[in-house]
């Protein structure tokens, strides 16, 4: 992940695009004003064969109910897929792909579009052969089958999962041209599972139990240290996402859900939980999962994901194609600390901020959907969103982040994203100087 300057057709790295707000505003027309006479629908009466002629799909019978036993999206949506950036990692087995955020709406990520991050490829496990063991500082070590797990009381919860490395390529400047690549290491689904605390209570915790070491059944046998407090608070052992079984790439048949905390702790293909009295010293956790600061020291155990937001439309992969007039800006906001209380949007690079409208469920540690409806006069825009959570945490600018954490970090970049929208509606990843 360190070599960020190699070109790629998908990710299209940029040469640190910087835009001056002053230059832009000097040349541009007044922003945000009402544009007369431009509506979102055309007047009826102009001849349009799509209205006047009968089309094939209107004339012939379609496929029957036996043709699509497991439904897939329309062929006209075939471009809506997860994408990877080939130059980011050495091979595809220990790699990442990205959620196409600019193609989605609402707050739920469809199962087939949830970004994937794995260190040893996708484990394909027959649930009948899967076991979860709890051992260590417990009264009686236990082994659960999938059937055993489903006998505990079940809960349904919507949570976002964000990889700590999301937006990591953007620390030194604008790099990747699209919110899929800059922000797409996040997904938000409804999990069905059982509270981890029920399973731990079944095994009986010893008085000196303080830490857990969950382990995956994949080839990377990934482990993480999780403080017991968090496990007893809101962690789930989940076997369903959005109502159906987890997908193999998301940890089928069972994964750990660690609400609001960085994705690497959400161990997939969960096979073992060891209970201990101190954190384990993982090679990865001490070298990789720390935030290197400018002075050479590191932030460690930064588990909670910070308050963050991004405008998904318009954005580099989703330009404005309808011309001036009535326009919808939309995006996502989230916080590992709880609910989002407010999102502001600017179209003039931060001179004026407007309260956006959050629509849809507002759930703790879940993505929130926001909209800002305005009349575009066709002039250049610098659009940004800024989220605030219920605890008063405010999303910082990238400049503020860098002044505190330097530029050596990869993890936990929650800085405000800027898209430069040109007069033709195309958009580019930039930073304002």
Give contact residues for ligand MTE (rule: CB under 6 A).
114-119, 161, 163, 187, 216, 218, 220, 222, 249-250, 263-264, 266-269
* Shortest separation between residue 387's beta carbon and ligand MTE, angstroms: 21
* Shortest separation between residue 200's beta carbon and ligand MTE, angstroms: 20
Cα of first residue to Cα of last residue in the chain, in angstroms, is 25
Residue 255 near Co ion by CB under 5 A: no
* Shortest separation between residue 289's beta carbon and ligand MTE, angstroms: 9
CB 40 within 8 A of CB 326: yes
Select from Co ion, ligand MTE, none the partner in contact with residue 193, using the beta carbon and a kind-dependent cut-off of 5 to 8 Å. none
Select from Co ion, ligand MTE, none the partner in contact with residue 173, using the beta carbon and a kind-dependent cut-off of 5 to 8 Å. none
Contacts to Co ion from residues 146-185, by CB under 5 A = 163
CB 119 within 8 A of CB 131: no
Contacts to Co ion from residues 108-127, by CB under 5 A = 117
Select from ligand MTE, Co ion, none the partner in contact with residue 331, using the beta carbon and a kind-dependent cut-off of 5 to 8 Å. none
* Shortest separation between residue 262's beta carbon and ligand MTE, angstroms: 7
* Shortest separation between residue 221's beta carbon and ligand MTE, angstroms: 7
Our CB check for Co ion shows the closer of 42 and 283 to be 283
Residue with tokens 């994705």: 263
Residues near 414 by beta carbon (within 8 Å), at least 6 away in sequence? 167, 305, 306, 307, 308, 395, 396, 401
Residue 415 near Co ion by CB under 5 A: no
Our CB check for Co ion shows the closer of 182 and 385 to be 182
Our CB check for ligand MTE shows the closer of 266 and 370 to be 266
Our CB check for ligand MTE shows the closer of 266 and 419 to be 266
Residue 317 near Co ion by CB under 5 A: no
Our CB check for ligand MTE shows the closer of 102 and 268 to be 268
Contacts to Co ion from residues 213-252, by CB under 5 A = none
CB 208 within 8 A of CB 196: no
Q: How many residues bind to Co ion according to rule CB under 5 A?
A: 4
* Chain residues that interact with Co ion, rule: CB under 5 A: 117, 163, 263-264
């Amino acid at each position: 992940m360190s070599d960020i300057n190699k070109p790629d057709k998908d990710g299209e790295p940029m040469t640190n695009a910087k835009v001056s707000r002053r230059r832009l505003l000097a040349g541009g027309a007044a922003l945000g004003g009402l544009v007369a006479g431009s509506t979102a629908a055309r007047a009826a009466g102009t001849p349009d064969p799509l209205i006047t002629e009968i089309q094939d799909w209107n004339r012939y019978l379609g496929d029957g109910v036996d043709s699509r036993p497991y439904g897939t999206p329309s062929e006209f949506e075939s471009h809506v897929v997860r994408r990877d950036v080939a130059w980011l990692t050495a091979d595809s087995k220990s790699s990442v792909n990205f959620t196409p955020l600019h193609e989605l709406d609402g707050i739920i990520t469809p199962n087939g579009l949830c970004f994937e991050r794995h260190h040893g490829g996708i484990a394909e496990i027959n649930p009948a052969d899967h076991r979860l063991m709890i051992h260590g500082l417990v009264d009686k070590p236990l082994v659960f089958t999938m059937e055993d797990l489903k006998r505990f009381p079940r809960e349904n919860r919507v949570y976002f999962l964000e990889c700590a490395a999301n937006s990591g390529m953007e620390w030194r400047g604008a790099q990747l041209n699209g919110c899929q690549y800059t922000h797409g290491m996040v997904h938000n689904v409804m999990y069905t599972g059982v509270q981890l605390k029920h399973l731990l209570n079944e095994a009986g915790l010893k008085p000196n139990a303080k830490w857990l070491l969950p382990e995956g059944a994949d080839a990377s046998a990934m482990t993480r240290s999780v403080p017991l407090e968090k496990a007893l608070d809101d962690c789930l052992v989940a076997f369903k996402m959005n109502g159906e079984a987890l997908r193999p790439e998301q940890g089928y048949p069972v994964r750990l859900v660690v609400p609001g905390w960085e994705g690497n702790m959400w161990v997939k293909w969960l096979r073992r939980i060891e209970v201990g009295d101190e954190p384990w010293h993982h090679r990865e956790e001490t070298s990789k999962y720390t935030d290197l600061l400018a002075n050479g020291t590191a932030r460690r155990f930064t588990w909670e994901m910070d308050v963050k937001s991004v405008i998904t439309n318009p954005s580099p992969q989703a330009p404005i194609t309808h011309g001036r007039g009535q326009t919808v800006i939309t995006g996502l906001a989230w916080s590992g600390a709880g609910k989002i209380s407010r999102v502001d949007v600017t179209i003039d690079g931060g001179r004026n901020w407007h309260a956006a409208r959050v629509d849809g469920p507002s759930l703790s540690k879940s993505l929130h959907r926001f909209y800002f409806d305005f009349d575009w006069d066709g002039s250049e825009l610098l659009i940004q969103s800024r989220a605030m959570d219920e605890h008063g945490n405010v999303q910082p600018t990238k400049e503020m982040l860098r002044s505190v954490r330097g530029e050596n970090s990869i993890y936990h970049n929650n800085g405000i994203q800027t898209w430069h929208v040109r007069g033709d509606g195309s958009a580019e990843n930039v930073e304002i100087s």
